Structure 1
Amino acid sequence: MSKPLGYYTNYTPGEETLLATLQDNYGAAFEKISKREKLVILSVLASHIGCQLEGDCRAEIFTVAKQITEQLTIADQAGIMEAIIGQIRWGQNFVVSGEPPMEQ
């Protein structure tokens, strides 16, 4: 994260919120959190958000995920993560089985 937390969230400097505490403890750009720790947080957040959505995941997606982890470089895997995060964040997702897109 090269930009400060407020760029990505609703954090406003001076507020006393969890976002303020995170920034105080780990830096405005999470520079005090290791790459491994950031991936753990990302994994937990992805699981939590995924559990909030209705519907099931197509079985083929697990195969695709396995192929990605086995056949692509770490850099390409990280690129896919970035692309998916952008699509989730800004609502550019394919609707499966009549499911409405995730609300922002």
Structure 2
Amino acid sequence: MSKPVGYFTSYSINDGSLLESLQEDYGPTFEKMTKREKLFLISAIASQLCDQAPGRCRDEIYVVGHQINSSLSVSDREGLIEALINQVRHGQSLKVVTEVSPMK
């Protein structure tokens, strides 16, 4: 069973926030949204957060993205989204390298 949006965010009852408005319009677990609409929001939010994150993606990550989309089942891709979100929020990541060292 899905948890309400407030479980994952800073939403508080009657706080007048956008999160409150979204819950009123689409339900506390966004049950009034289609799967496509939820995936669109995931994509839109992730794209904006990616643009704000420092550094750049290594070229190999673009290849990995293509491999994931062309080789994994829908269920595995959805699970990977969940795992990556968990790691972005709670996991450790490589430190951002601002200079590219020459290849050996």
User: Is TM more than 0.5 here?
Assistant: yes
In structure 2, the residue matched to 1:6 is: 6
Q: How does 1:28-43 map to 2 (within 5 A)?
A: 28-43=28-43
**Structure 2 residue 23 is matched with structure 1 residue 19:** no
- Bigger Rg, which one: 2
Structure 1 unaligned blocks of 5 or more: 99-104
Counterpart AA for 2:16? E
Structure 2 unaligned blocks of 5 or more: 99-104
The alignment's TM-score, normalised by the length of structure 1, stands at 0.89
Q: What's the % identity of the aligned pairs?
A: 46
Q: Does 21-30 or 1-10 show the bigger shift?
A: 1-10
In structure 2, the residue matched to 1:49 is: 49
8 A Cα contact 2:3 2:29, kept in partner? yes
Distance 1:43 1:73 in 2: 18
In structure 2, the residue matched to 1:77 is: 77
Distance 1:78 1:92 in 2: 21
Instruction: Give 1:11 deviation, angstroms.
Output: 0.2
